[in-house]
Chains A and B, each alone.
Chain A
């Protein structure tokens, strides 16, 4: 299986403070990978490094075997999209125009939307369930609706790789499941590679081919849900004592409840 994304000996951080040091990771093509770990462990830093938002101090990030920083950033944007944890838009932009900015990397500066653009935008708005909001302004809709709008923008980019930073935050339980099903579906039918930071570890277990558990900038464990989702590993990563069970739908390991480690 080919590795579509590779992180090699990467040291990265903000200013003088390094968050990840000599970090290594590979993401196989057409898989769903979840990054889990406690607050401040470097998950978002890792995702931003993969998305070339942060430039590593040392080491290399490659996409399809090529150094991501040597490629034209617009070409990278045709292959990789990112849904950040929170996003901000210029005031007054309506939902449809915002989603259509997902087509930005595919167009020349003043080219209008062609039929391929229109199809991608329509599709992205359809699957995220925001069709009815098209003419609304971002400041007129709820946080959960806004989250789906941003997801639609990332999907309209129609890239082979989609990176998502806590895509289910702000969403109610139904929409959480809809979004995760949608991502699974995109992975199954369109062979998209999906890398996401997930807070809900049971969702990670249920939807991922691979899980990377990170703590203090180090990979504690990486592998399938069966390999990573064990009581002892979770106890170490999250500093809790979990009670493990099985997901009734997928038979994968889940945490049924937990208490603080005494």
Chain B
């Protein structure tokens, strides 16, 4: 019961955060405008247009990216049995960055929707390398192998990207893109992303009972009748989808994937059937709030949402770590 209450309160917080970001900005609008923009849309009302075409897709994108990173983080922690894991650990961010770098060099001026797809493809590509490396040979898909392969691929793509960016002098474009993807996002882009999002979330939630069983030690998981490798593989596919689309929206803010599952764990116990849904909602709340802060705190200058997430998240995370981490890792 306590869990259901927590979930309901989190949803209410999310609704409040989204409403607040619909009416707050360079043009201040009222709650009345926000409601009417959806139930009695007036195409001649600028406020309605701002809400429907600018702020609503942006809030939705922030919520989607936040939920995606948070759920992907919870799944990654279960699969790697590592409480410090986040989706970036399997090389996603570095791959996305590398592909974007290549795109900026060889296809400058590519439209936004393509860039999102390219960053997504990069995330998929690097994750595929990591999965392939860890799938073959001894100790198939062992958590340690996954992490080692992930770190290696991250370093490899990271240094390639840095070298290319320096040589072709495109570092600023990349940084601008990462900070700016969410600023210009519209429903057209979201309609590309949402199916992937729903698929990734559905797979994660379906797997959640197995994820708890798989996060026991290997022998216990096997003796409970869990197909360990099959589960790891399907879970990682979900992680790639979710974190890949997250990266394409707000850049490498995978930090959400580290802290939010711990918040959810603290609030709901150690069962992934509870951790994952709560992580999704809390991740959305955190990201919508951070994005709102990013565009209002220093208006008209936009701060990078990723940096703000860390700014809000890190102190809170340290507080949690001090207060509640009784368990030894």
For residue A53, CB closer than 8 A to chain B, the reply is yes
Scan B208-246; emit 1 where CB is below 8 A from any A CB, else 0. 011011011111101111110000000000000000000
Taking CB atoms, residues of chain B closer than 8 Å to A97 are 269-271
Task: Judge whether B217 and A87 touch: CB under 8 Å.
Answer: yes
- For the complex formed, measure the closest distance between the CB of A133 and the CB atoms of chain B, giving whole angstroms: 15
Task: Judge whether B222 and A101 touch: CB under 8 Å.
Answer: no
Taking CB atoms, residues of chain A closer than 8 Å to B138 are 15
Bound: A92/B209 CA distance, A: 15
Within 8 A of B (CB), among A36-94: 48, 51-53, 73-78, 80-82, 84, 86-94
Q: How many A-B residue pairs have CB under 8 A?
A: 99
Task: Judge whether B224 and A77 touch: CB under 8 Å.
Answer: yes
For residue A239, CB closer than 8 A to chain B, the reply is no
Scan A132-145; emit 1 where CB is below 8 A from any B CB, else 0. 00000111100000
Bound: A77/B226 CA distance, A: 9
Task: Judge whether B271 and A93 touch: CB under 8 Å.
Answer: yes
For residue B83, CB closer than 8 A to chain A, the reply is yes
Taking CB atoms, residues of chain B closer than 8 Å to A53 are 218-219, 222-223
Query: How many chain A residues touch the partner (CB < 8 A)?
Result: 40
Task: Judge whether B209 and A91 touch: CB under 8 Å.
Answer: no
For residue B266, CB closer than 8 A to chain A, the reply is yes
Bound: A253/B329 CA distance, A: 44
Bound: A52/B225 CA distance, A: 10
Interface of chain B: mostly helix, strand, loop or mixed: loop
Task: Judge whether B269 and A73 touch: CB under 8 Å.
Answer: no
Task: Judge whether A92 and B216 touch: CB under 8 Å.
Answer: no
Contact with B327, one of A73, A86, A92 (Cβ below 8 angstroms): A92
Which A residue's beta carbon lies closest to that of B225? A77
Task: Judge whether A102 and B270 touch: CB under 8 Å.
Answer: no
Taking CB atoms, residues of chain B closer than 8 Å to A129 are none
Task: Judge whether B220 and A87 touch: CB under 8 Å.
Answer: yes
For residue A109, CB closer than 8 A to chain B, the reply is yes
Scan B109-147; emit 1 where CB is below 8 A from any A CB, else 0. 000000000000000000000000000001000000000
Identify the A interface with B (CB < 8 A): 15, 48, 51-53, 73-78, 80-82, 84, 86-94, 97, 101-102, 104-105, 109-110, 137-140, 150, 153-154, 157, 163
Enumerate 20 A-B pairs (CB-CB under 8 Å) in ascending A order: A51-B222, A52-B222, A73-B225, A73-B226, A77-B223, A82-B220, A84-B219, A86-B217, A87-B217, A88-B217, A89-B216, A90-B78, A93-B270, A93-B271, A101-B213, A102-B224, A105-B225, A110-B209, A137-B326, A137-B327
Identify the B interface with A (CB < 8 A): 78, 81, 83, 138, 206, 209-210, 212-213, 215-220, 222-227, 265-266, 269-272, 326-329
